């Protein structure tokens, strides 16, 4: 993808100054648009996408027209860098300009190199802030090959494919059942690529309503639809220079598939309600648990988009097909969750490991991770036992809990946890009935906080509408 051309808006009432800046910035590789006053500038800003605004302070009879434009930018285009220029500068003026959102300040007359440097610095700061926002949202989950745990031949083949495709510019489509770790594969590809210093942005195409997905991906202009109170950069712009991961791509509506194909072909995005496209440099990775080939044959997915996305396919195997990795994964999750909970190191007992190996894992690695988190939280010994595992894994076999607790502990043992759960469920049901199924009233009856009650309702599958 070709590098995008940055666009600068120059606002000055002197025609000669506008023409000079158009030449200076144009020679520096920028696309330049001109405005003679605040009204003309605001009209252009509503129609076009800009990367920087360079505005004069005084225009015509308005001594602080530039300040007014800065205030308007803060309200309507927050985050767009602006530089104030004036021949009537002072410390107070500079301070006020910064308070109004100016990213820098330049005095007239200036040298050509000076104005080029100021604009370049403003854009670099904007890009840095954008990358920092993406990094903060993503830093907890950035992945690499170390996060793809396993020694099986199947998972080693996946790691080998990641190494081979990471440095290529091609689109990669990752296929696998839910919970197999498709996003980890995408993150590893990004981190091993030349784009690793740029943002990795992920979106679940099936988790966002159709009417909002277009705005999330491509951005929108203020007023383009109800609730669009300000301009918004889409995820393509947020991922500029980096990688955009489109998870559950099979859920994307056909109308949006056309627009995605256009971005792949032209490297340009058009925000909702916009009239000017913006160049972006983004590598696309996609994933799904559905058969896109069959969907394309049946008309549920665009065939041309399928071929554009599926240039290099990677298939992530289900956990049941990599049984030799189950114990290693389980121990990895146990160590991680124990550290988070501040618990000493736990072991996995032999009988628990056998139960894990025998289970079919419909939820794959994600289900295993959640099961080990539960086991670590419930374990009261120094090793994970059969009773610490979810009933689905052990076949639901647990010692029956008596209706009433015995006065003395039986020699055969006693399932205290099941007994307490039975009491809790019985009293919660009674409190809900007495409170006419109001969670707030039921919590008050039981002396619980609303949050504690909601946790128990979810735990025992007693949630009410």
For 42, 51, 136, 346, the CA distances from 70, given in Å and listed in that order, are 11, 15, 27, 59
Q: Look at residue 137 and tell me if it is in a domain.
A: no
Domain of 424, CATH number, reads 1.10.10.60
Q: Look at residue 210 and tell me if it is in a domain.
A: yes
Q: What is the mean pLDDT of residues 79-105?
A: 79
Strands 278-279 vs 268-269: parallel, antiparallel or unpaired: antiparallel
What pLDDT is stored for residue 90 in this prediction? 65
- Tokens representing residue 37 in the block: 């006053």
Q: Look at residue 134 and tell me if it is in a domain.
A: no
DSSP type of residue 227:
T
The answer to whether residues 256 and 239 belong to one domain is yes
CA distance 264 to 284: 8
In tens, the pLDDT along 155-207 reads 999 999 999 999 999 999 999 999 999 999 999 999 999 999 899 999 999 88
pTM of the full structure: 0.59
Q: What is the mean pLDDT of residues 379-394?
A: 87
Q: Look at residue 2 and tell me if it is in a domain.
A: no
What pLDDT is stored for residue 286 in this prediction? 97
- Tokens representing residue 73 in the block: 């930018």
What pLDDT is stored for residue 58 in this prediction? 87
Using alpha carbons only, what angle is made at residue 322 by residues 318 and 326, rounded to the nearest 5 degrees? 100
The answer to whether residues 216 and 297 belong to one domain is yes
Tell me how many domains the chain contains: 4
Q: Look at residue 195 and tell me if it is in a domain.
A: yes
The answer to whether residues 83 and 171 belong to one domain is no
Q: Which domain holds residue 165?
A: 142-317
Strands 283-288 vs 312-315: parallel, antiparallel or unpaired: unpaired
CA distance 107 to 88: 8
Local confidence band at 140 (pLDDT 50, 70, 90 cut-offs): very low
What pLDDT is stored for residue 139 in this prediction? 47
**Domain final residue, candidates 372, 398, 424:** 398
The answer to whether residues 308 and 209 belong to one domain is yes
Is the separation of the CB atoms in 345 and 381 below 8 Å?
A: no
- Tokens representing residue 247 in the block: 């998870």
The answer to whether residues 237 and 351 belong to one domain is no
The answer to whether residues 251 and 289 belong to one domain is yes
- Among 79-88, 198-207, 266-275, 414-423, which is the least confidently predicted range? 414-423
**396, pLDDT greater than 50:** no
Q: What is the mean pLDDT of residues 311-339?
A: 94
What pLDDT is stored for residue 289 in this prediction? 92
Per the model's pLDDT, the better-predicted residue between 432 and 372 turns out to be: 372
- Tokens representing residue 293 in the block: 């080939």
The answer to whether residues 341 and 310 belong to one domain is no
Local confidence band at 427 (pLDDT 50, 70, 90 cut-offs): confident
The answer to whether residues 334 and 276 belong to one domain is no
Domain of 384, CATH number, reads 1.10.8.60
- Among 41-50, 344-353, 358-367, 414-423, which is the least confidently predicted range? 414-423
In tens, the pLDDT along 203-236 reads 999 888 887 899 999 988 888 888 778 888 889 9
> Could you identify the residue written with the tokens 């309507």?
76
In tens, the pLDDT along 24-64 reads 999 999 999 999 999 999 999 988 889 899 999 888 888 88
Using alpha carbons only, what angle is made at residue 187 by residues 338 and 200, rounded to the nearest 5 degrees? 115
**Domain final residue, candidates 346, 378, 398:** 398
The answer to whether residues 167 and 293 belong to one domain is yes
Percent of all residues in the chain with a pLDDT value above 70, rounded to a whole number:
91
The answer to whether residues 34 and 61 belong to one domain is yes
**Domain final residue, candidates 279, 300, 317:** 317
The answer to whether residues 77 and 53 belong to one domain is yes
Domain of 201, CATH number, reads 3.40.50.300
Q: Look at residue 1 and tell me if it is in a domain.
A: no
Q: What is the mean pLDDT of residues 370-381?
A: 92
Q: Look at residue 292 and tell me if it is in a domain.
A: yes
Cα R_g (the chain), whole angstroms: 29
Domain of 24, CATH number, reads 3.40.50.2300
Q: What is the mean pLDDT of residues 363-375?
A: 94
The answer to whether residues 204 and 291 belong to one domain is yes
Cβ count near 437 (within 10 Å): 12
Is the separation of the CB atoms in 89 and 104 below 8 Å?
A: no
Q: Look at residue 236 and tell me if it is in a domain.
A: yes
């Amino acid at each position: 993808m070709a590098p995008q051309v940055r666009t600068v808006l120059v606002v000055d009432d002197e025609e000669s100054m506008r023409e000079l800046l158009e030449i200076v910035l144009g020679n520096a590789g920028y696309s330049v648009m001109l405005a003679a006053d605040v009204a003309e500038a605001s009209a252009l800003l509503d129609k076009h996408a800009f990367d920087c605004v360079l505005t004069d302070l005084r225009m015509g009879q308005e001594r602080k027209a530039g300040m007014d434009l800065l205030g308007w930018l803060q309200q309507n285009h927050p985050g767009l860098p602006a530089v104030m220029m004036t021949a009537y500068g002072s410390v107070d003026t500079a301070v006020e300009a910064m308070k109004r959102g100016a990213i820098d300040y330049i005095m007239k007359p200036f040298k050509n190199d000076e104005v080029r440097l100021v604009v370049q610095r403003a854009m670099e700061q904007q890009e840095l802030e954008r990358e920092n926002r993406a990094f903060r949202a993503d830093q907890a989950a950035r992945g690499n090959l170390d996060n793809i745990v396993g020694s099986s031949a199947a998972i080693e083949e996946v790691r080998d494919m990641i190494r081979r495709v990471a440095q290529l510019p091609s689109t990669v489509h990752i296929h696998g059942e839910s919970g197999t770790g498709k996003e980890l594969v995408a993150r590893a590809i990004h981190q091993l690529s030349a784009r690793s210093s740029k943002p990795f942005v992920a979106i679940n195409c099936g988790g966002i309503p159709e009417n909002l997905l277009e705005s999330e991906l491509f951005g929108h202009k203020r007023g383009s639809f109800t609730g669009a109170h300000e301009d918004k950069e889409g995820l393509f712009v947020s991922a500029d220079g980096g990688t955009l991961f489109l998870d559950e791509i099979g859920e994307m509506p056909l109308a949006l598939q056309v627009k995605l194909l256009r971005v792949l072909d032209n490297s340009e995005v058009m925000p909702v309600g916009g009239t000017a496209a913006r160049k972006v440099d983004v590598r696309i990775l996609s994933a799904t648990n559905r058969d896109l080939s069959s969907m394309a044959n049946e008309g549920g997915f665009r065939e041309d988009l399928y071929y554009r996305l599926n240039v290099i396919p990677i298939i992530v195997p289900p956990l049941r097909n990599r049984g030799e990795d189950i114990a290693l994964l389980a121990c990895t999750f146990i160590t991680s969750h124990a550290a988070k909970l501040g618990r000493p190191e736990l072991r996995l007992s032999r009988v628990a490991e056998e139960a894990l190996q025998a289970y079919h894992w419909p939820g794959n690695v994600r289900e295993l991770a959640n099961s080990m988190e539960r086991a670590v939280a419930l374990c009261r010994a120094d090793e994970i036992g059969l009773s610490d595992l979810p009933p689905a894994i052990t076949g639901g076999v647990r010692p029956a809990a008596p209706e009433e607790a015995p006065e003395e502990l039986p020699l055969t043992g006693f399932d205290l946890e099941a007994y307490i759960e039975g009491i809790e469920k019985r009293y919660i049901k009674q409190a809900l009935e007495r409170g006419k199924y109001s969670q707030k009233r039921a919590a008050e009856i039981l002396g619980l906080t609303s949050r504690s009650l909601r946790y128990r309702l979810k735990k025992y599958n007693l949630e009410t509408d």
